[in-house]
Amino acid sequence: MAVGQIEAKAGSRLNWHAEFSEPAAEALFRRTMQTHDACQLRYALCSAAGLFLAFSLADYALLGPGGAFLSLLLMRVGVALCCLALTMATLKRPALAQRPLPVNLICLICLTGLMATIPLRPDQIGIHLASMIFASMVLYLFVPNRFPWILTWNAYLAAGVVTAMLIWSNLPPELIFTSLLLLGFVNLLGSLTLTRLNRLQRTQFASLLEERAINRRLQSEIEERCQLEERLRHMATTDELTGIANRRHFFELASRELSRALRERTPLAICMVDIDHFKQLNDRHGHATGDRVLAAVAACCQSVLRDTDIIGRYGGEEFVLALPNAELHTAASIGERLREKVTNLTVPTVDDLGQLSVTVGISRLEATEVQLEASLLRADQALYAGKARGRNCVVIADPQAPSLSAVKA
């Protein structure tokens, strides 16, 4: 989704005072902005405390030492202490900045204290009016996420100023009306600024949420694609029935071992393994039983192999093994262990299967060979020679001798 569409969608979810219409979204936004709001509120409280204390100097210059000055000083110090107390409280508990009671209470104290200076200094209307405008601006700029309350406080401020002017000052109605117009202009400007700021913040927040949702969906799709690729790779390289490498993948792995053997001049043995009488077994017990036998024999092969050895399903009931760094006697020992283990194998759920057996043909890569075909052919010939001799045996193909030698059961 484009940025403009995201912002338009987010903007349509805001109410008249630029807050989210959905309570859950507004609550999430406020939790996100909690630290920022607490910082902004502390700025406002420190500004208010500084304003009240700074005007004590003007009070002293205008009133001199006396009862009126002491009354003003006590009021200003009390308001400043209240502001500083809430400032310290928000440092420990930032959530207080978003709770109505403490913030409304401190605003009521500050505004009431500000208006209380009018009857004590009724001749300084210009200073009072400047203070009221400054207080109104502080409310709009530094007290966040409280637009309805800010309007209420400013209405209270305007009503209090007009009432104080009518009672304690001798200003003509025209000047009072001008003062109201000035306060009204400040409130209009502050309302527009705050609304625009709130809308901008929430639009950006909604855009951020939408972007995160899109990123999560993309991440989920990427993970699904990776899993699918892994499954496809597994299906392309693994024999589904036995769980070992299929024929194509076996030759890929064996070709790497061939290259290493040629490069490092190390031996490489090849074994062909065939399950004896597998066709009769299938015909008698069914293909489901034959499949279980294939899986069991494949597991036997894996159990006797070393970590570096490679096994694959060659086709039908035949398996092929590549044994790196294995001379013929090592390959024969592995083949014999495999033959004995298959002989003692029992297949679950099939009690009358009889004794299973395999025939193993073994060859090695010769120094003059750079391909696997010749070695595979000799192992296959040794395998068929073993079947001709009665099966259930391990036969080694020796290219230096005119006949095949057998390691019998």
Distance, first Cα to last Cα, the chain: 72
Q: Does 221 score more than 80 pLDDT?
A: yes
pLDDT of 409? 41
Nearest residue to 128 via CA among 171, 96, 71, 65: 171
Which tens digits make up the pLDDT trace of 226-259?
Answer: 999 998 888 889 998 999 999 999 999 999 999 9
| Residue 405, token pair as written in the block | 């030698």
Which tens digits make up the pLDDT trace of 327-358?
Answer: 999 999 999 999 999 998 887 655 566 789 99
Angle between helices 147-168 and 100-120 (to 10 degrees): 20
Q: Does 175 score more than 80 pLDDT?
A: no
Nearest residue to 115 via CA among 140, 136, 137: 136
Which tens digits make up the pLDDT trace of 368-399?
Answer: 889 999 999 999 999 999 999 999 999 999 76
C-alpha span between 91 and 17 (Å, rounded): 28
Mean pLDDT of 11-32: 80
Contact between 117 and 131 under an 8 Å Cβ cutoff? The reply is: yes
CA distances from 359 to 213, 319, 378, 384, 396 (A): 60, 11, 14, 8, 11
Which tens digits make up the pLDDT trace of 64-87?
Answer: 888 888 888 888 899 899 989 999
pLDDT of 403? 45
Coil vs helix vs strand at 327 = coil
From the options 3.40.50.970, 2.60.120.260, 3.40.190.10, 3.30.70.270, give the CATH code of 247-408: 3.30.70.270
Active site residues: 317
Q: Where are the domains of the chain?
A: 3-215, 247-408
Mean pLDDT of 169-187: 78
pLDDT of 258? 94
Which tens digits make up the pLDDT trace of 301-319?
Answer: 999 999 999 999 998 899 9
Contact between 135 and 111 under an 8 Å Cβ cutoff? The reply is: yes
